[in-house]
Structure 1
Amino acid sequence: MAEQQQQRAFRIRRPRNFRPRLDIFGEYSDTELKKRYRLDRNGLMYVTNLVRDEIGNRTQRSHAVTADMKVAMTLRYLSTGKMQLCNGDDFGLSQPTISRAITQTLDALTAELILSRFIQFPVNLEEIRDIQGEFLRIAGFPGVVSVVDGTHVRIVAPKEYEEVYVNRKNFHSINVQVVFDAKYQIRDIVARWPGSTHDSRILRESGLWQAFENHQLPIPAGCHLLGDSGYPCKRWLLTTYLRPQEGYQEAFNRAHKKTRCVVERGIGLLKRRFHVLHGEIRLAPEKAAKVIMACGILHNICKRLNIQLEEEEEEDVDDPNGLDVFQPAPNAGAQEGVLFRDDLARNIFMIED
Structure 2
Amino acid sequence: MGHIRRNLRNQARPLEMSDNEFRANYRLSKEVFRDLCGELGPLLSTARRQTKISIECRVLTALSFYASGSYQKYIGMSFLHGVSQATVSKIVNEVTLALNDERILRQYIRFPQTRQERQAVIQGFSNKFGFPGVMGCIDGTHVALFNLLQICDSDLNILNIDATFGGATHDANILWRNSPVCNHMQQLHENGEITWLLGL
TM over 0.5: same fold? yes
Secondary structure of 1:21's partner?
A: helix
What residue number does 1:6 align with?
Answer: none
CA offsets per residue over residues 69-95 of structure 1, 9 Å max, x none? Answer: 100000000111111111111122211
- Work out which of the residue numbers 126, 137, 147 in structure 2 matches 1:175: 147
**Counterpart Cα distance in 2 of 1:67 and 1:210:** 40
| Contact 1:51–1:108 (CA under 8 A) maintained in structure 2 | yes
Instruction: For residue 224 of structure 1, report the CA deviation from its aligned partner.
Output: 2.0
**Post-superposition shift, 1:181?**
1.9
Secondary structure, in 3 states, of the residue corresponding to 2:3?
coil
Match of 1:66 in 2: 54
Which residue of 1 is the match for residue 179 of structure 2? 206
Counterpart residue number, 2:194? 223
Structure 1 residues 139 and 51 mapped into 2: Cα distance closer, same or farther (>3 Å)? closer
The 2-side partners of 1:134 and 1:84 are apart by 38
1:30 corresponds to 2:19: yes
Where in structure 1 are there 5+ consecutive unaligned residues?
1-15, 156-172, 227-259, 265-353
The structure 2 residue matched to 1:152, chosen from 139, 142, 160, is 142
Give CA deviations for 1:320-349 in whole Å, capped at 9, x if unaligned.
xxxxxxxxxxxxxxxxxxxxxxxxxxxxxx
What letter is aligned with 2:65?
Y
TM-superposed deviation, 1:177: 1.2
Pair member with larger Rg: 1
Aligned pairs for 1:1-353 (under 5 A) are: 17-19=3-5, 20-22=7-9, 23-57=12-46, 59=48, 61-90=49-78, 91-137=81-127, 141-153=131-143, 155=144, 174-193=146-165, 194=167, 196-213=169-186, 215=187, 221-226=192-197, 260=198
1:76–1:144: structure 2 CA closer, same or farther, 3 Å change rule? same
Q: Which runs of 4+ in 1 moved over 4 A?
A: 137-141
Asked if the contact 1:88/1:98 (under 8 Å) is kept, the reply is: yes
- Determine the C-alpha separation between the residues in 2 that align with 1:204 and 1:181: 20
**Normalising to structure 1: TM-score of the pair?**
0.49
Counterpart in 2 of 1:12? Answer: none
* Structure 2 residue runs without a partner (length 5+): none
- For residues 87-114 of structure 1, give each alpha carbon's deviation from its aligned partner in whole angstroms, at most 9, with x where no partner exists: 1111222111111111111111111221
Quote the Cα distance in structure 2 between the aligned partners of 1:58 and 1:152.
34
Please state whether the residue corresponding to 2:111 is helix, strand or coil: coil
Write the letter of the residue equivalent to 2:160.
Answer: D
Determine which structure has greater relative contact order: mean sequence separation of CA pairs < 8 Å that are 6+ residues apart, divided by chain length.
1
CA distance in 2, matches of 1:149, 1:88: 32
Contact 2:3–2:51 (CA under 8 A) maintained in structure 1: no
Amino acid in structure 2 at the alignment position of 1:115 = L
Secondary structure, counterpart of 2:148 in structure 1: strand
* Identity over aligned pairs, percent: 25
C-alpha deviation, 1:27, in angstroms: 4.0
Mapped to 2, the partners of 1:38 and 1:93 lie a distance apart of: 20
